[in-house]
Amino acid sequence: MEISTIAQKIQQSLKLLGVKELNQGTSTGVNSFGKGAVIASYSPVDGKLIGKVSTTTKEDYEKVMETAQTAYKSWRLKPAPLRGEIVRQFGDKLRALKQPLGELVSYEMGKSLQEGLGEVQEMIDICDFAVGLSRQLHGLTMHSERPGHRMYEQYHPLGIVGIISAFNFPVAVWSWNTALAWICGDVCVWKASEKAPLCSIACQNIMTEVLKENNLPEGISCIVNGDYKVGEFMSNDPRIPLISATGSTRMGKIVAKTVAERLGRSLLELGGNNAIIITPDADIKISIIGAIFGAVGTAGQRCTSTRRLIIHESIYDKVKNTLVAAYKQLRIGNPLDQNNHVGPLIDKDAVKMYEQALAKVVEEGGTVLVEGGVLSGIGYESGCYVKPAIAEASNDFKIVQHETFAPILYLMKYTGDVTNAIEIQNGVAQGLSSAIMTNNLREAEQFLSQAGSDCGIANVNIGTSGAEIGGAFGGEKETGGGRESGSDAWKIYMRRQTNTINYTTELPLAQGIKFDL
């Protein structure tokens, strides 16, 4: 697709998604209450203005919360399978609108169209998962120590779930949370990234149609717009028992502290500093493919992006030379053109961080193998396109210990057995995703053992990116410890209750206490 035709194509997508073409600073979309300052959304693809959205004031926020509280009172009483039916209908709407929503994700965020469509597919997949789960929100039945008693536990909705999401997955991460929260009987208030506000409005419009068609209150799904100040409204609000926040470790620490002070719950998905270990028994071909996709996919702006490659000394030069040669084949440009591999960074602030990181690794003694740089000229007018770079570095470099949201890959070698590689892999503050490339069963099992990877995700012969909906997604250490999406992640959106029923004419007291009347 030519750059000149992108804006026209996106305006067609916006109309299909019910997002009005607004460039005057008025509020866009349903439930995006906003009387505050204006957010202008510029595409990193071509630097053009897509639209403007009014932000949420404190007064606006209170209206949203009142709407959500009212909706919760009726939504929680709907049987879970009926709540699942609403999520099923939402998934069907997403299927019908996958192409325009995927295009908007690609254009507003800057990821490739394939990744944009893939992100919408993740939304569809979590809806399918949630629909099935709506008939499986089960507790346990336990034997009571008291005769004539039955004891069991059950799960109830929490109430309002606050969702704070990041720009790099402007729709999928919200759906991971909200699809599960909805079937659990919760209602949701979503603050999307101010760097991709139109994606949130598109999603809100789609769900609003479903709610209207089923005569359900709009407060089941609400959005608020703005910067960190709107997030502070949510984090400080005791009416929101759970805050699910995705973003930087710095942001997560602030949210965690604020929510903990009011004894609320927080689900945190924070920074990653992910590594792939390549052993002498690795399949070099799939190792290279996994490393490249992990390092340059979404222009290195995934929390699961591959930042470090830990290679055994015996194959280090072979892997390095193959990787450097492969990087020369990368095509950088318009992400809506499927011939390109790498799109832009989200904005010029991200470009500055990329440049600073490359300067820092050289300053600390690293060697640049594939030079980076900012691209300019026709097709790169936004100033957000950069070259994926590779540098040899040590794991103890400060810049290596830091997560840089950009396509920079650090190469380092290990000696001896895989134990040494695992020690390097674990030697960072973050603990999200990890991988080992090996055909040696013992190495693979050691990597997955108690003494292996300390990350929430550990893969064998798969890269660090590409988590599946069915598995719980999240990480340890400074990644925050949260789990979203599959497995039993639904439990965090509910409160557990233990129930005991006495069906006798006696009342035995605890610890054998006697009380005679």
Q: Say if CB 313 and CB 415 are below 8 A apart.
A: yes
Q: Given 115, 269, 403, 484, which residue is catalytic? A: 269
Assign 71 to helix, strand or coil.
helix
Q: Say if CB 224 and CB 29 are below 8 A apart.
A: no
Paired tokens of 278: 């390549």
Q: Say if CB 454 and CB 426 are below 8 A apart.
A: yes
User: Exposure of 495 by Cβ count < 10 A (0-12 exposed, 13-18 middle, 19+ buried)?
Assistant: middle
Lookup result for tokens 């100040």: 229
Residue 269 is among the residues annotated as catalytic for this protein? yes
Q: How far apart are CA 390 and CA 408, in angstroms?
A: 6
Residue 303 is among the residues annotated as catalytic for this protein? yes
Q: How far apart are CA 478 and CA 484, in angstroms?
A: 16
Q: Given 127, 184, 188, 303, which residue is catalytic? A: 303
Lookup result for tokens 């270990």: 277
Other beta carbons less than 10 A from residue 349's beta carbon: 11
Assign 323 to helix, strand or coil.
helix
- The alpha carbon of residue 10 and the mean position of all alpha carbons in its chain are separated, in whole angstroms, by 24
Q: How far apart are CA 261 and CA 188, in angstroms?
A: 22
Paired tokens of 196: 């991709």
Q: What is the DSSP letter of 386?
A: B
Q: Which residues are catalytic?
A: 269, 303
